Structures are given as C-alpha cells and as structure tokens.
Amino acid sequence: MATVIVVTSGKGGVGKTTTSASFAAGLALSGAKTAVIDFDVGLRNLDLIMGCERRVVFDLINVIQGEAKLRQALIRDKRVENLYTLAASQTRDKDALTREGIGAVLEELAEEFEYVVCDSPAGIEKGALLALYYADHAVVVTNPEISSVRDSDRILGVLASRSRRAEQGDTPVKEHLLLTRYDPARVSTGEMLKVGDVEEILAIPLLGVIPESEVVLRCSNLGQPVILEEKSNAAQAYRDAVARFLGQEVEMKFLEQERKGLLRRWFRGAA
C-alpha cells in the first residue's frame, strides 16, 4: 500500500508546489518510487515547477474519466529516477474531480508506487478537500506570517474532521509542520514570528524550517525542484526535512542568523 502525503496550507503562495516538487524528488532520491499529483484543476503549475510542462499529454482528469491510461499520463522525470508527475487539467471543469475517481487513481498508483504526494490547491474548496481526503500524512506548509498561520490552523481542523481517516474513525492523519520562507535575521530583530511561536500556536510536530532563499525563484525559472541544488541552504533544509520524514534524526539548521556573512564582508572590505 502506498503512503499518501498531502502538501497543504489553506493559504496560497506559501510554497505548497515548491514543497511538493522537492519533497517528492527527495523521496525518489531515497530510492522509493514516488508520484506527485497536481490537484489544482484549472490553475496547474506543478508541471512548470517540475520542468515537464512541454511533456504533458494527458492529465489527472483524463485518467479519472477513462480517456487515458494512468501509465500514459504519468510523466517520468528526466533527472531523478523513480520520480513521476501527474499534471492537473488546465482546461477542464473542477467538477470532473470526484472522490471515487481520485480513490481509483490512488489505488492503481499503490500497485507500483511507495509514495504519492498530493499537491493541494489553496483554499478549502473541493480541490483542496479531495487532495487531503485520502491522506495518511499531511505536510502543512506555513509562512511565519499571521494570515498563513491562521489558515494552517483552519486546514488542520479540516484534516481532523473531513479526511477519510477522520470520517472512518481511523488513526488520524499524521500532521507535520513545514515552516517556509523563514528569515532568521528578521526573527532576531523581532520583525518575524519565531519558529517556536508558530510551533506552539499550531501544536503539531515540526518537520523542517526552510530558510528564505533566492534559489527558490531561480529553480522555478529553470523548472527544477529546489532540493536538487547542490549548494543551497533551502535545498539542504528540504533534504533534512525528507530525512526526518523517513525517520532519521537530523538537527534543525538555519534557525540562527549566519554570522559568517558579516565576517566575509569584513574580509572582502579589507582585501
């Protein structure tokens, strides 16, 4: 049986798709066959972030409606072995997404795949509800910013009441907090919520803290998951988060402002 992970947040623009791409790539790099599915029907973007937009022939809705085989719609990643993308439909109506249809797709994926990462749209409408319905794990992507934290709290309420696990009285969906766009310099001057504050308010285990990074925009320009960057704090933080998800103990990095920068600036000034 495949493990289903929903990447969700309630609020838009906090890094769900960036996280879905990197998380799925990280799981695939660990050797597990992984599929990442875009649930944002009408506003698909995962294909761009994965860099496979020109290879989309069939999408999730085509598969649900029986117009294409799952095998035809899965796009094999050119960089990472074991990694496949399933795009959302850009033109079709959201109503084509059904609970039964998604259930059937996930069941078929489970025959081959170890992990299925569901990239949720923003909001708490149909697409978001279906993305989280079958989840075993939820990665709640949150920015250290007041409206994002509130929306994350709301989505945690939805997970606890409207997921399949909740409806069937199963063990609850396992929740993980992933704090993104964290800026230790601004935290140290008191301009930004501390990781501890967000943890305390949302009261779910912390999976990782991704520092604010220029690399994220660069990777989105290039169509490449952030985690594949060699020398980047954000990439390292994603690798650590995936390792923690897989049960390893890794200490949290990049929570403090880097002092090296200042020293380097001094030396550069002296030279």
Partner 1 sequence: MSITSFFRSRRKDKQSAETARDRLQIVLAHERMSVNGDDFLPRLQREIMAVVVRYVDIDPSQAVVKLEKDGDLSTLEIEVTLPKADSLGVQRVAS
Residues that bind partner 1 (CB under 8 A): 145-146, 149-150, 153-154, 157, 187, 189-194, 197, 201
Neighbours of 93 (CB within 10 A): 10
Biggest alpha carbon–alpha carbon distance for the chain: 67
The whole-angstrom separation of Cα 47 and Cα 68 is 18
Closer residue to partner 1 (CB): 110 or 185: 185
CB atoms within 10 A of CB 103: 15
Q: Are 89 and 61 in contact (CB under 8 A)?
A: yes
Residue 177 C-alpha from the chain's centroid: 11
| Single-letter code of the amino acid located at 81 | E
Instruction: Compute the least distance from the CB of residue 193 to partner 1, in Å.
Output: 5
Helices 16-29 and 233-245, axial angle in degrees (round to 10): 60
Instruction: Give the residue with the Cβ less far from partner 1, 157 or 172.
Output: 157
Kindly state the smallest distance separating residue 191's Cβ from partner 1, in Å: 4
**Is the CB of 116 or the CB of 124 nearer to partner 1?**
124
Closer to partner 1 by Cβ: residue 189 or 248: 189
> Which lies closer to partner 1 via its Cβ, residue 72 or residue 189?
189
CB of 2 to partner 1, least distance (A): 31
Bridge partners, 142 (sequence order): 179
Tell me if 151 sits within 8 A of 9, measured CB to CB.
yes
Residue 47 near residue 56, CB atoms below 8 Å = yes
**Least separation in angstroms between CB 124 and partner 1:** 12
Give the three-class secondary structure for 254: coil
Of 104, 173, 130, residue with least CA distance to 40:
130
Which of residues 104 and 206 has its CB atom nearest to partner 1 in the complex? 206
- Least Å from the CB of residue 94 to partner 1: 25
Q: How far is the CB of 149 from partner 1 (least distance, A)?
A: 6
Strands 75-76 and 83-86: antiparallel
Nearer to partner 1 among residue 111 and residue 200 (C-beta): 200
Could you tell me the smallest distance in angstroms from the CB atom of residue 159 to partner 1?
12
Instruction: Return the DSSP state at 157.
Output: H
Phi, psi of 178 (to 5 degrees): -120, 110
